[in-house]
């Protein structure tokens, strides 16, 4: 069975804090949208552009995007990776183990 939550490392006497993987997907989705018009999420009715997998307490995020034709793909994707990692760390305190950006096409304007 897939792991749906990550337990926070900080446990208090009041109890523990668990973060659902959908929270991490939403944070990454917001960062992708913030990168527009250089990047747009590549999603369809049957597939999300952002997927999160938690295995052995490792957080792995995969993002499918299309990049603007006039932009440097490596620069845009590296900036997006950094934004996702920084935002998740800032909002949840959790370190992302891996962010995979899959460029599925280009945006022609």
Query: Which tens digits make up the pLDDT trace of 10-54?
Result: 667 888 888 999 999 999 999 999 999 999 999 877 789 999 998
Note the pLDDT of residue 16.
84
Is 17-107 a domain of CATH 3.30.565.10? no
Full-model pTM: 0.90
* Closest listed residue to residue 98, CA positions, set 54, 40, 65: 54
Distance of CA 66 to CAs 6, 7, 50, Å?
Answer: 29, 33, 13
Q: Assess whether the previous peptide bond of 37 is cis (omega < 30° from 0).
A: yes
pLDDT band at 60 (very low <50, low <70, confident <90, very high): very high
Cβ neighbours, 10 Å, residue 105 = 12
Handedness of CA 70, 29, 49, 19 (dihedral sign): positive
* Residue whose pair of structure tokens reads 């990047």 in the numeric block: 39
């Amino acid at each position: 069975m897939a792991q749906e939550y990550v337990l926070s490392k900080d446990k208090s006497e009041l109890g523990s804090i668990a973060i659902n993987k959908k929270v991490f997907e939403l944070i990454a989705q917001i960062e992708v949208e913030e990168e527009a018009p250089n990047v747009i999420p590549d999603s369809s009715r049957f597939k999300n552009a952002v997927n999160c997998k938690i295995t052995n307490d490792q957080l792995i995020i995969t993002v499918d995007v299309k990049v603007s034709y006039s932009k440097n793909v490596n620069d845009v994707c590296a900036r997006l990776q950094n934004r996702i990692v920084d935002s998740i760390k800032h909002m949840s305190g959790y370190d992302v183990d891996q962010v995979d950006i899959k460029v599925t096409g280009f945006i022609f304007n």
